[in-house]
Chain A
């Protein structure tokens, strides 16, 4: 399992705004924003690489029973894990579990890496609802894994 396997990576893109969609594997897109599950804002124009995790870094039949998130966005300084959801209810705990499991897998194989900013996002297009205070979860994940977590994102800002 290689989280930085070039064959699972798209060419870096530096547009100020693009979307992430879910297909056989996660992919980025500039067209048809209504199909974007997550929106990425990259005002600083950094080259951002999308790596498909579920279905590529970790193939579907690999690691049965071990959860994994959809994709990863990286720049020289950033390592952002992203789980995409399109469900109205009952999705959040599962999405967080997928991220935590991926964080664990990444840490086991790559350690903390040289990234300055490590974050994990759950993005749900269908749930723009009332916010919850996530302080306890955020603090816990940061202390344990060095990742900041945003479990209620619709927009990923780099």
Chain B
């Protein structure tokens, strides 16, 4: 299982105090916490290090190149605009420590240097890595997102995949909320939300649709792309000759001084399309954004279904929503109960009506982490049969409003 260990990086100070600081990142991972507590920061770091590992395996660069001073600072962190979080001066104990343990490489960061040590690559599945940013609504809101001068590299890449997903739409598709359809008017380069009674452009639709469409479309597109590449001849592994040619071409991009960093990454992305991917690592910031609770659940069902399409797919989400936490509990319990039903078709049907098999989450592949903005620590939430402990921040704040109402009534009680 992939693991990550982070200390003294932006809002993350103490990090995870158990297991020597190592956080397991299983197939399904949920980060909760206040804003500024570091959950998105860690999600971005995880995404960055999975990308570095992939690039090392593919030969985009080697360990020696990676080991040069300030590579993390200058090359990788600006992609998510988190370079300023690095602490490389002062007491050693206050400096940034990052360790990542993947299937193919162990990668560490200490005092301005990255170190990568290869492991057994045979179990490694080359992933499609995507970070779905919180700013995704912006893309759906403007008429010509391609013409935007986006300052975030990760948002640019997301936009690229959004464009690819649009172009890939052959006919209208059903969105997981409100039973509406989405179609793409190629001639006018416009996306429309369509029901039986009305049609409205995505740019003019509600904020909920503007949030869900980019997230849903890109997740769906990349899931299918990875799956298709696995099933088709195109997805056959490269021959040694092809691999050598690929690595040479990548090296040329890296040494080309006329290309900017974002241009290099884009060029590599185009070139690496030739490489078959066997997994999709989807990191989604706040999937609940602008969505009604039932829509949050429907959206989550889609994301979980996509993650369940291939055994090595992963879904990591950050959230403020108790509904999302609740849904994972229900989904985990549904998975556990499904194992007890044997051949009882009636009960199986009943369970399917609640949650389909593809929408269930194996509790042994599920972890919840809670981030504290107070001391920059991270805590793993206990689960039983997949049901997450009620002892968590989101639940505590629901309780807090009952307590506040009680205190107000007590003031009135004492005033009478």
Contact A116 B399 (CB under 8 A): no
Contact with B along A133-149 (1 / 0, CB 8 A): 11100110010001010
Contact B406 A138 (CB under 8 A): yes
Among the listed B326, B401, B406, which residue makes an inter-chain contact with A130, where contact means beta carbons less than 8 Å apart?
B326
* CA distance in complex: A150, B414 (Å): 18
Contact with B along A19-36 (1 / 0, CB 8 A): 000000000000000000
Contact A150 B406 (CB under 8 A): yes
Contact with A along B315-326 (1 / 0, CB 8 A): 000000010011
Among the listed B395, B412, B414, which residue makes an inter-chain contact with A131, where contact means beta carbons less than 8 Å apart?
B395
| B288 CB, min distance to chain A CBs, angstroms | 15
Contacts of A148 in B (CB 8 A): 406, 409-410, 413
Task: Give the number of residues in A that approach B within 8 Å (Cβ atoms).
Answer: 18
Contact B410 A117 (CB under 8 A): yes
Contact A133 B401 (CB under 8 A): yes
Contact B405 A139 (CB under 8 A): yes
Determine if B187 is an interface residue (Cβ-Cβ < 8 Å): no
* CA distance in complex: A143, B322 (Å): 30
| A146 CB, min distance to chain B CBs, angstroms | 8
Contact A135 B401 (CB under 8 A): yes
Contact A152 B399 (CB under 8 A): yes
Determine if B398 is an interface residue (Cβ-Cβ < 8 Å): yes
Contacts of B414 in A (CB 8 A): 116
Contact A130 B402 (CB under 8 A): no
Task: Give the number of residues in B that approach A within 8 Å (Cβ atoms).
Answer: 18
Contact A132 B398 (CB under 8 A): yes
Contact A134 B402 (CB under 8 A): yes
Determine if A129 is an interface residue (Cβ-Cβ < 8 Å): yes
Contacts of B395 in A (CB 8 A): 130-131
Contact A152 B322 (CB under 8 A): no
Contacts of A135 in B (CB 8 A): 401-402, 405
* CA distance in complex: A146, B413 (Å): 8
* CA distance in complex: A146, B325 (Å): 36
For window 105-158 of A, CB contacts with B under 8 Å fall at 116-118, 128-135, 138-139, 142, 146, 148, 150, 152
Among the listed A116, A138, A146, which residue makes an inter-chain contact with B402, where contact means beta carbons less than 8 Å apart?
A138
* CA distance in complex: A131, B401 (Å): 10
B329 (CB) vs chain A CBs: closest residue: A130
* CA distance in complex: A121, B395 (Å): 19
A141 (CB) vs chain B CBs: closest residue: B409
Contact B409 A129 (CB under 8 A): no
Contact A138 B405 (CB under 8 A): yes
Contact A133 B398 (CB under 8 A): yes
A118 (CB) vs chain B CBs: closest residue: B413
Contact B398 A131 (CB under 8 A): yes
* CA distance in complex: A116, B411 (Å): 11
* CA distance in complex: A139, B395 (Å): 21
| A28 CB, min distance to chain B CBs, angstroms | 23
* CA distance in complex: A134, B403 (Å): 10
B392 (CB) vs chain A CBs: closest residue: A130
* CA distance in complex: A118, B402 (Å): 16
Determine if B197 is an interface residue (Cβ-Cβ < 8 Å): no
* CA distance in complex: A133, B409 (Å): 15
Contacts of A132 in B (CB 8 A): 398
Determine if B293 is an interface residue (Cβ-Cβ < 8 Å): no
Determine if B89 is an interface residue (Cβ-Cβ < 8 Å): no
Contacts of A138 in B (CB 8 A): 402, 405-406, 409
* CA distance in complex: A142, B413 (Å): 9
* CA distance in complex: A133, B391 (Å): 16
* CA distance in complex: A118, B390 (Å): 27
Given A134-B405, A152-B402, 15 more A-B residue pairs with CB atoms under 8 Å apart are A117-B413, A128-B390, A130-B325, A130-B326, A132-B398, A133-B401, A135-B401, A135-B402, A135-B405, A138-B402, A146-B413, A148-B406, A148-B409, A148-B413, A150-B402
Q: List 23 A-B contacts (CB under 8 A).
A: A116-B414, A117-B413, A128-B391, A129-B390, A130-B325, A130-B326, A130-B390, A130-B398, A131-B390, A131-B402, A132-B398, A133-B398, A133-B401, A134-B402, A135-B405, A138-B409, A139-B409, A142-B409, A142-B412, A148-B410, A148-B413, A150-B402, A152-B402
